[in-house]
């Protein structure tokens, strides 16, 4: 049986290559993701995650990328309705951005936090709201996995080998069991997996 550690779930989402990397040697090059990110499986997967979330938790680099791009999708001609739905959710959601360098948030509905991710999550759990969604921010997800603060682990696995680059799962994570909640395979061999932490 999977249970939450508090009233709000921490849900993390990350894209991985088949050989276990979330980025290649250039972390800013996401070209390997793009052919797969626009598949029905990937879009439906993301929709299923943000639908129950009210807070987005992001690292600074990801916040700049996500919040620089996604608002431009709203009203874009030919945009997939699922992409536009996510964009509207992201703009309207409460956002918490972990940063040691920003003094003020350049985005609406955004709070900056210069504290460890696990401490920020503890505060968010004590407040009212839906799921806390961590969107592809590897440093944040790694810290929360190390602190055993992830309730739902969502992965999209793309059938490509990057050969090298950083990995999401490193040695030394707390031992624990996860249960598979959903699995969907789709175009180009894209695989969407959702696991819940068993406590």
Is residue 3 included in any domain, yes or no?
A: no
Overall number of domains in the chain: 1
**Which residues span the domain enclosing 24?**
10-198
Is residue 5 included in any domain, yes or no?
A: no
Cβ-contact 46, 185 below 8 angstroms: no
Dump the DSSP string for 154-178. Answer: EEEEES----SS-BSS-TTPPP-EE
* pLDDT tens-digit profile, the chain (199 residues): 334 444 799 999 999 999 999 999 887 788 898 888 889 999 999 999 999 999 999 999 999 989 999 999 999 999 999 999 999 999 999 999 999 999 898 899 999 999 999 999 999 999 999 999 999 999 999 999 999 999 999 999 999 999 999 999 989 999 999 999 999 998 889 999 999 999 9
């Amino acid at each position: 049986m999977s249970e939450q550690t508090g009233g709000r779930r921490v849900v993390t989402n990350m894209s991985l290559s088949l050989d276990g990397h979330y980025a290649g040697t250039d972390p800013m090059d996401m070209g390997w993701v793009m052919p797969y990110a626009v598949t029905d499986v990937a879009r439906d997967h993301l929709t299923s995650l943000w639908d129950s979330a009210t807070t987005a938790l992001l690292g600074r680099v990801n916040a700049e990328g996500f919040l620089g791009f996604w608002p431009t999708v709203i009203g874009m001609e030919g945009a997939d309705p699922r992409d536009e739905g996510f964009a509207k959710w992201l703009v309207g959601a409460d956002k918490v951005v972990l940063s040691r360098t920003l003094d003020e948030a350049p985005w609406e509905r955004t709070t900056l936090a210069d504290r460890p991710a696990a401490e920020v999550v503890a505060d968010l759990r004590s407040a009212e709201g839906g799921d806390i969604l961590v969107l592809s921010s590897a440093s944040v997800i790694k810290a929360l996995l190390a602190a055993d603060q992830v309730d739902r682990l969502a992965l999209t696995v793309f059938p490509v080998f990057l050969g090298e680059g950083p990995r999401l799962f490193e040695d030394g994570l707390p031992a624990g069991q996860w249960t598979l909640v959903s699995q969907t395979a789709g175009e180009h061999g894209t695989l969407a997996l959702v696991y819940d932490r068993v406590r």
